[in-house]
C-alpha cells in the first residue's frame, strides 16, 4: 500500500477497511482477524464478563498499515475503534499524534467512507499545518 498523508480506518470485530488517499487516488486494504469473535452474551451467575478478548495481532496489523500516514481518522460502528485507540496508546504511543479523530460511522460503502473522510480532513486541515 502506497503511503498518503491522509488515511481512514473503518473497523469492527470482523474486519478493518483501510484507505489511504490523496486528492485524486485512493489505496484500499482490507484486514481480517485470524479468529473473528462471535457475539457473546453474559449470563447471570457465570464467570467472566461475556466479552471476547481483543485480538492484539489484528489491531497491530491495522496500525502498521497506517504507520506512514500523517493524519488518520478512525471510524466504526462499535467498540473496536476504541480498542484500536487503546492499542495505539499502549503499544505504539508515537502514533497517537497522527490520530486526527475517532468517529462513530455505521456501515458505509467504500466510496461513502472515503468521501466522509475527505470532508472531515478538509475541515481539520484548515486548523493546522500539514507537516509530514
| Total number of domains in the chain | 1
The answer as to whether 38 is a domain residue is no
User: Cell for 114?
Assistant: 472515503
User: Cell for 96?
Assistant: 497517537
pLDDT given for residue 30 in this prediction:
97
pLDDT given for residue 3 in this prediction:
73
The answer as to whether 132 is a domain residue is no
pLDDT given for residue 120 in this prediction:
95
The answer as to whether 47 is a domain residue is no
The answer as to whether 40 is a domain residue is no
Q: What is the reported pTM?
A: 0.82
pLDDT given for residue 50 in this prediction:
47
Q: List pLDDT tens digits, range 24-45.
A: 899 999 999 987 655 445 566 5
Q: Where are the beta strands (DSSP E) in 22-106?
A: 26-31, 71-76, 99-104
Mean pLDDT of the chain: 86
For residues 5, 68, 17, 22, the Cα torsion angle rounded to the nearest 10 degrees is 20
- Write the CATH number for 57: 3.30.420.60
Task: Return averaged pLDDT per consecutive 10 residues of the chain, 132 residues in all.
Answer: 86 96 93 71 54 78 94 94 96 93 96 96 70 57
pLDDT given for residue 38 in this prediction:
52
Could you tell me the residue range of the domain that residue 102 belongs to?
6-33+53-123
Residue ranges of the alpha helices (H) in 16-128? 56-65, 80-91, 110-125
Amino acid at each position: 500500500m502506497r503511503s498518503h498523508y491522509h488515511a481512514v480506518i473503518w473497523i469492527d470485530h470482523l474486519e478493518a477497511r483501510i484507505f489511504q488517499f490523496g486528492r485524486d487516488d485512493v489505496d484500499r486494504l482490507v484486514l481480517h482477524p485470524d479468529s473473528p469473535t462471535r457475539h457473546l452474551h453474559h449470563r447471570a451467575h457465570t464467570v467472566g464478563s461475556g466479552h471476547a478478548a481483543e485480538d492484539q495481532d489484528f489491531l497491530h496489523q491495522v496500525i502498521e498499515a497506517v504507520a506512514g500516514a500523517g493524519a488518520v481518522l478512525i471510524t466504526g460502528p462499535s467498540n473496536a475503534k476504541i480498542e484500536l485507540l487503546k492499542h495505539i496508546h499502549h503499544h505504539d504511543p508515537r502514533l497517537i499524534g497522527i490520530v486526527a479523530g475517532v468517529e462513530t460511522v455505521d456501515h458505509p460503502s467504500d466510496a461513502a467512507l472515503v468521501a466522509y473522510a475527505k470532508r472531515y480532513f478538509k475541515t481539520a486541515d484548515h486548523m493546522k499545518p500539514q507537516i509530514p
